[in-house]
Each structure stands twice: as C-alpha cells, then as structure tokens.
Structure 1
Amino acid sequence: MRRSADIDALQQVLCAALGSRAPVCSLARIGRDAGAFAALDPAVLERPTLVGGGSPHNPTNPAPAAHAVDELVGRAEGLGVDQILVPGVRRSDDTGALRAAGFAPVAAGSECVVRLTGEVDDVLRERVGAERLGDLRRHHEEAAHEVTWESIPLSELDGKPWARDAFVELHRRQAERDGGHGNLYNADALDALTQGELAERTEMFVRRGGNTVVQAGLMTTSHNGRGIYCLTQAIDHDAPVARPGLSDASVYRLYLHARDSGLDWVHLGRGDADRMRCLGADLFIPLDHWLRAPGLAIPEEEGEQALSDFAAPPVTTVPVPGPARFRHVPRFDQIDLSSNTNPFLGADGSYPELDTAELARTYLSTVAKLPGHDGLDALSADHLLFSSGAVDGVLLLLSALASPGEGVCVTPPTFPLYDHFARVLRLPVTEVPLCGENLSRLDTERILAADPRVTILCDPNNPAGTRLDPAQIHTLLARGRGLVVIDEAYVEFSEKPSYAGLVAQHENLIVLRTLSKAWGLAGARCGIVLAQPGIVEALRRVQVPFGFTNASQRAVRDRLTNSRPVLDSIRRLRAERDRLAEALADHPAVDRVFPSETNFLLVRFHKYERVVAQLDAAGILVAAIGRVVPDTCRITIGDRRANDALLEALSSAL
C-alpha cells in the first residue's frame, strides 16, 4: 500500500495483534523472515524491535522520507528500544534516508501481482499456458461443488459472528502450525481493522462446506480503486473438503471476483516466485526489510548499471529518456496523474507497460528449452532488450554504439537494411562479400583488416539460407576490436546451434532475435537484442519509450507460454521445405537450389526473367533478387497448396 493513511491503519491493526500501544515485539514474534534476520546476528531475533510502517506481511510499505525516519528513530529512543524494522520496502523506492540513518537492507523476496488485462481465462492462458489453466479451472469447478464462496464487507461482520469466529480460529491454528509465531490477525486485530480507516474498503471472504468454514481471508481494495490486496488467508487443512487444490481454486475465484468488480489487478503478497507464476502472477517487485540494530554493518549501496565501453561518447552523457528511467518503479497501486492521457476512454488510453523483466524471463526460459540453445540459462533480464522487430535493434545499436566516421562491415549478399541504416547514420560501410559455393564462408582477414566498429552477420543468411562457419565467427570475436552482431532471425528453422548462449562470455557479441518468423508474430513487432547489460543500458538511452505496446506484450507472452503449436509448425515447415527443395531440384526450369536452414529457398533459374514474369502472371509473389545473386529468387515456404501452385506455374514457364 502506498498511502500513508492506509499504512497508519495497518499499524493500528499490528498494535492490536500485539496487545500493545506501540508496535514493539521481537522479530521472532512476527516470524516469517526469522532465518534471514538470524543470518545477520542471532541476537536480533529476540531483541525488542519497533516496527515502523504497516503490517510486515502482504502490503508493502513505502520508504519513509527523511523526516519520517527521524521521527521513527526518536520514537524508538523514547521507548528505550535499540532496534527498528521497516518491513517490506520496494527496492525501487528511494531508501537513501534509511541508509543515512543507519538502517541495513535484508532481502525479503518479491511481492507478486496478477494484472488482469482481459477476461480471467484469457489472461491465465497467456501467462501459464492452456494445460495449467485447465488445472486451475478443474480445481475451481471441483471446489464449487463442495464449498461455497462468500464475500462479506467488514461493515456487515457484526451480523455474521460465525464468520468472525471462524476467521480467528483458522488463523490461530495456522499460527500453531507455523510454530506459534506470526498470528497478526487475532480477534483484537480483526476488531481494529473493522473499526479503522480500511474497514469500508475491506471484505472477508469465506468458503464453507455445509456449516463448516474451511477457508477465511481478507481482501482490501486499493486507494486508487483499481485492484485488491489479499491481506491474509487461512485454510482448515483437516477438513475433508479442503482438498489439495482448494488454495489454487480460491485464488482463481479471487480473480473472477476482481474482474467482475471491474478491477485491474490482484496483489497476492509475497511468496515463492515459481508458484506465483503458476498462478498467473506477472509482476514481481523485489523487496527489502530495513533493519537498524546495534553493531549491524551497512553494506555499500549498489551503483547503477555501468555502461559498456562500446557506448558512443554522446550516449554516455545522456540518461535513459523520459519515463523509461522509471521502468522498474511499479505504478499499479498509485493514482497516476503524471502522463497527460485521457482517463475516459478505457485501457487503451494508458501508455504501455515499461517493465518487461518478467516477459524477458519468460522468453529466456522458453527459448532455453529449444535444441541448440545451451548456455542461455546464464542470461538474465538485464541481458535482453525488446525492440520493434530485430531491424529496430539494428538501428538502435548503430545509433548507440557507433559514432560518425566509425566503420560498419556487412557481408553481401545479406539483409539490405544493415547497409541502409549505417549510411543514414553517416557511418562508412565496408562490404566484404560472402565466399564459397553456398555463400557460407567469411573473408575473416579482410574483415579484421577493415577494423570495423561493428560487423553485422546474418546467420542463417538472408537471402542465401545457409549457415556461416562457426570457427570463423569465433575468430572475429577473439581477434576483432569491434562488436560482432549476429542476426538470428531464422535460427529456429536451423538444426545448428544458436550463438545466444555465448552472450554472457563475450563483451563484444550481440545477438538479434525476432518473433516475426518462426513464432508467427510479425504483426506484434517484437525483436530481441541479447547483449552484455552495459550494452543493453546504452541501447535504452537511444530507444523511444513505449514502442512495445501492451497488445504486443500480451501476444508475445501468450505465444511463448503456449509454444507447442510453434514447435509443431517448425517441424511441418522443415518437412515441406525439404519436399519443395527436392521437387525444385528436379525441375527443368531450375539450375540450382541452395541448401537452406531457414523457411525459404534460394533458387537459381535457367530462364530467370521468363520465370519471374510467369510467376507474376500466375499471381505468385516471390523475392526476385537477380541483381543481388544472379538469376535467383528467394522463395518463402508456404503450405502444400501454395507450394504446389508454385511448381505448376514454373512448369508453365518452360
């Protein structure tokens, strides 16, 4: 929670739970992070501690400003307490005042948020996949047959004493199972909440099997009216109807409740990140507890991500532009009056989400499972930048990493926009043509002699369709002084390894990927730049904010999470490619079919101009690139019907 009045209300609840006018207790009493505190100094667990802010549990506490820290320290001195805890502060907050006052951070995991960007089932299918969605729906349907769901405003709780009593009893039992610690929702705490500032925004939810309450919890609507915090829940695990899936079923039911109420998100609190992902969480905000204790050492503050030495000089003098600087500062639970947008025309009136760290993790974890992607697990979200297609990544890296006068090397035949963007940016271009019968060999000595700032390689190559020699690429990485950029737009169609897993090992390697080709999302305009974090930081400084729309982010997440059809389509496409290549190789109009590890074939024809004219007359569009590779067309692999139509049209050209 981000509003001071809400935090004050939760502190009154904490005081009531402790039976004290001041929120002072041992850290062992609130228990949840005992292991982390004991690792600092076992004595801190039993020492009386003033708890600043609200509840140590689900809602987070905003970092206090300097005057509030001074008041907190003064209050501790007045109470004769040597130890102070400010729990659950977002790492993205300004914690300078806490550090200056002698507080030290203790890692507290992450708070987990489920953003409801559409209908619940659509959102969950996108986040967790169709199979896991099926599990959640099954748990929900089974629970619905055995237990009821009821939400009770706290203002009506006096009329339902059975609910109040069951809530208190279930939380007492839960505390016993946890070793007797952490029951911050006893009868006095519940009464304080019912009489406090949050009462009119808080509801109790209960699930009953017959007359027996098997689950009870609390949810509070945020002060901006857009979401709910799940404050607490407890389950009677001994009840026969409390089947193992009841907790998941209740979370699913909570999403339905929120969506039916027109809300945009559900705050699940802290928890195991992998489990929360399986429940649909898509926003994970790192937290720290801030502790001031006698003799406690304060670690040095971590600095900002250092820029790569490859950053162009002008880039080193400017910050990441505009709101993108605050991409890790969550705004879901704030009232945003900073963006100058129209609030009366729905969700499309808001700017896209800028924090794509979780989507980056989804991409890396999904692609790491593909053959030929060893080493990708060494990369983090800091190694990845989403761009508006891989071609946008080319423009970004040339803008951020090369200055006018610094050379760019390209290896024709290749994708023409490499050369185009370099010349637009006034960067001299050196062409070192590919060699060999299959256009698959580099003239590494000529490239090294040119000493380019950036060498851009297309592998698999467009338009040749072949792969480059890995030994030659490693030579460029080891001996060159500049950056080596490998565009892997078609690598999913290849049976040879990607270079993406090597990014963590090479300061001068950048790998470009896209979801436009194998992943079938050309309309989503999603490119991926994989590079060292210092390079990614440089690219952010020249990237236009908000270029990656919410609709595109949802489409990408859905495709990555439900990837089986993609993998099946790649296998089908390879088979159709081989069939078409074989048929073309035997066709009398064809001089040669180049070997391909892409979703297209480079084909040389005997009567090139006649073939092109006949295909055009038949309504078949191919890439006629005879000016680049003499007498050739680049032919995308279509479905069987389209490919057979191509073969028939070629026969007419004889």
Structure 2
Amino acid sequence: MKEFNLNTLVRKNILTLQPYISFRDNNEFSAPVLLDANECPFGEYNRYPDSTQKNLKNKLAELKRVSPSQIALGNGSDELIDLIIKIFCEPKKDAILIMNPSFAMYAFYAAVNENEVVKLNLDENFDIVKDDFLKITQERDIKIFFLCSPNNPTGNSVQDIEFFVQNFDGIVVIDEAYIEFSGNKSGIELLNKYPNLIVLQTFSKAWGTAGARVGAAYASEEIIRFINTVKAPYNVNSISQKLILKLLDDKDKLKENVGSILQERAWLEAEFKNIECIVKIFPTDANFFLIKMKNVDEAYNRMLEAEILTSKRAPAIPDCIRINVGSREENEKLINVLKGIAL
C-alpha cells in the first residue's frame, strides 16, 4: 500500500460538507424544556432519538475494545454501505471492486450512485485468487474493495485478509455480518495498523434483531467523522437504540444464540448428507448453507409448495440453493420435504 492520505480518496464535495448537528445532542442539560424541534409534548417516543447514539457507542466501545469515536451506527449495514460509496466514489467516475459471487447490495448501491462495479471472480472453492486480485488492482483505478467474510452467499471465510488490506491503495471494507458463527478473529483488530480499513458488523444475524435495523462501522476516527457527516441526523431510531442497549446488557444472549445455531447447523449438515437430491454441501462459516442439488428447480418448488422459503442462486451459481439454519422444528420440516423429493 502506498503512503495513505484519506483526503485524496474522499470526494471533494464531501471534504467541505458541513454535518447536521443537533444542538441538544451535543450539549449537556440537567432539566431542559425542549421547545426547539417542533415535537409533540406527549407520548412515549415523542422526542427525536439521540443523533450521536452516545450510550450505544459507549457500550459497543467497551465490547469491541475501541474508542467510541471509531464507531458509526447505521440503519442496518445497508445504510453504511451506501454512505461509504457516497463518501469515496464520484458518480459516473469511480469504481468499486467486489467478490463474485458476493452480497448483492454492494453492486446495488454502486449502481444507485452511478459507479462502475468491477467483479473479482472467485475460484471453484469460492476463494479469492491473489494473482487475479493483484492484476485487477494494478490495471484499474478502484476506490473501494468490499470483502465479505464469511461470504454471502457462499458461506466460506476469506483467507489471509490482511494481504488484501496491505495490497490495496483504496478503502477496504470487511463485511463481517456472519463473523460470530465462524470463530475467526475480527478485522477490528487490524484497525490501528491500517488507516484504509473499515469493518462492518450487524445486529441482524447472531444477535437476532434483524427487525431493529442496526449496523455498525468500525474505522479510524477520521473515516468515522466523514460517515457521521454524511449520515441522516436521526438514522437509528429510539426504539432500536433502546433494544440494542438492553441486548448488550444480556451478556449470555449472543453466546446462547450462536451456540444454538451452531448446534442446528451441525445437525442439518449431517442430515443433508443422507438426502439423494443433494450433490454437494459447501463448507460454511455462517448461519446458512450453499447446497448444490440435482434438479434444483424441482427441489426449490417443492420447498416453496411446503411454504419453506429458500434462496435459489441461479444464474450466478448454477444448481445451487442457499438455505439458512432455522429452529429444530423448521429444520425438521425442511429435511422431511427434501427426503420426499424423488429423482
């Protein structure tokens, strides 16, 4: 990586953009009369949420062993992906690099922002070929590399992540939505070493609160300042902040969720091995499986008829379906349907 200068990567209009600052959230009061924001004086949630999310960031900082100023919170990781592209990528000019296949929203938000998407094709085991990565990044001027690990929809983790951070001259975003199921170390541990790194995590998966829509970005204080400048002022609502704070106080909840899912994941994998229509079970570090099937359309439709919703991955990954781990009752229903599929 060349000598890093963040200001050369940020869009010029963002460099001079002034953030929206809530006066009440950036000052301390003992018993304020709140007549500044045109709110209704009645109701449990009549006040705007804390735009700085101080309490939640402080709690997360303790858990992740970073400074609160290294954390930005979003309305799910999706909002943070969108913001990162807006901060660094000039519309109709800059490009992002994504693994192929990988999470669809990277390309979606690049398209919304009119940025080119360069695809780094994975090998037959869904691993990144380092020589291909080096070739593309040497030939192309790319602003952001989205590196999803464990990868969605393939389930496997990226090996030697630090190599890709070291050898990329733009911003590297490690999306760790499924990190809790993998047992791998988080890229958060590399933040102080690499100023071009952003790590995304979410409360939607292992924490079991997808409906709350809360995601977190961890990065240098400088990058976080830009994210906080561009984000909507009240992007994480009061109910979600309250819910996640309560969840973080329950220190056993995450362990309990992950333990149960890993147990069910192992049970499902053992059952899948005895099902005729399944050709291959790809290795997974996530809470889902990518499965190659004989007569995939028949299998998909049979599950759909039983009101079991799965994710068919064609044409990107032919003959494959992504199936996430459910409860034992849900998993048993899935297995019974699959066993009933005649070849």
TM category (shorter chain) comes to: over 0.9
How does the TM-score come out when normalised to structure 1? 0.50
Asked if 2 retains the 8 angstrom alpha-carbon contact of 1:388 and 1:547, the reply is yes
Which runs of 5 or more structure 2 residues have no equivalent in the other structure?
A: none
Separation in structure 2 between the aligned mates of residue 604 and residue 514 of structure 1, nearest angstrom: 28
Q: Tell me the SS of whatever aligns to 1:430.
A: strand
Aligned-CA RMSD value? 1.7
1:307-353 CA distance string (max 9 Å, x none)? 85532111111111242x7643234532222111121x223221111
1:409 matched residue in structure 2: 97
The alpha-carbon distance between structure 1 residues 326 and 511, as it changes in their structure 2 partners (threshold 3 A), is farther
Separation in structure 2 between the aligned mates of residue 524 and residue 505 of structure 1, nearest angstrom: 32
Separation in structure 1 between the aligned mates of residue 206 and residue 331 of structure 2, nearest angstrom: 18
Separation in structure 1 between the aligned mates of residue 240 and residue 68 of structure 2, nearest angstrom: 18
Separation in structure 1 between the aligned mates of residue 37 and residue 246 of structure 2, nearest angstrom: 28
Structure-to-structure mapping, 1:122-137, within 5 angstroms: none
The alpha-carbon distance between structure 1 residues 637 and 529, as it changes in their structure 2 partners (threshold 3 A), is same
Correspondence 1:445 to 2:134: yes
Shift of 1:476: 2.4
Structure-to-structure mapping, 1:160-309, within 5 angstroms: 309=8
Q: Tell me the SS of whatever aligns to 2:198.
A: strand
Q: Tell me the SS of whatever aligns to 1:348.
A: coil
1:314 matched residue in structure 2: 13
Give the one of 336, 361, 372 matched to 2:34: 336
Correspondence 1:359 to 2:56: yes
- Bigger radius of gyration: 1
Q: Tell me the SS of whatever aligns to 1:541.
A: helix
Q: Tell me the SS of whatever aligns to 1:465.
A: coil
The alpha-carbon distance between structure 1 residues 332 and 516, as it changes in their structure 2 partners (threshold 3 A), is farther
State the one-letter code of the partner of 1:399.
K
Q: Tell me the SS of whatever aligns to 1:432.
A: strand
State the one-letter code of the partner of 1:590.
I
The structure whose RCO (Cα within 8 Å, separation 6+) is larger is 2
2:261 matched residue in structure 1: 573
Structure-to-structure mapping, 1:227-626, within 5 angstroms: 309-323=8-22, 327-331=25-29, 333-343=31-41, 345-366=42-63, 368=64, 377=65, 379-404=66-91, 405-437=93-125, 439-442=126-129, 443-449=132-138, 450-470=140-160, 473-626=161-314
Separation in structure 2 between the aligned mates of residue 605 and residue 498 of structure 1, nearest angstrom: 33
Q: How many residues align?
A: 334
State the one-letter code of the partner of 2:237.
T
Structure-to-structure mapping, 1:43-82, within 5 angstroms: none
Asked if 2 retains the 8 angstrom alpha-carbon contact of 1:411 and 1:434, the reply is yes
How does the TM-score come out when normalised to structure 2? 0.93
Shift of 1:509: 0.5
Shift of 1:567: 0.6
Asked if 2 retains the 8 angstrom alpha-carbon contact of 1:412 and 1:434, the reply is yes
Separation in structure 1 between the aligned mates of residue 332 and residue 76 of structure 2, nearest angstrom: 31
State the one-letter code of the partner of 2:275.
H
State the one-letter code of the partner of 2:13.
P
The alpha-carbon distance between structure 1 residues 561 and 310, as it changes in their structure 2 partners (threshold 3 A), is farther
| Structure 1 residue ranges, 4+ long, deviating more than 6 angstroms after superposition | none
Shift of 1:477: 1.7
Shift of 1:410: 0.8
1:494-524 CA distance string (max 9 Å, x none)? 1121111211221110000000100011111
Separation in structure 2 between the aligned mates of residue 341 and residue 358 of structure 1, nearest angstrom: 22
State the one-letter code of the partner of 2:100.
P
Between the aligned residues of both structures, percent identity stands at: 26
Structure-to-structure mapping, 1:613-652, within 5 angstroms: 613-652=301-340
The alpha-carbon distance between structure 1 residues 434 and 332, as it changes in their structure 2 partners (threshold 3 A), is farther
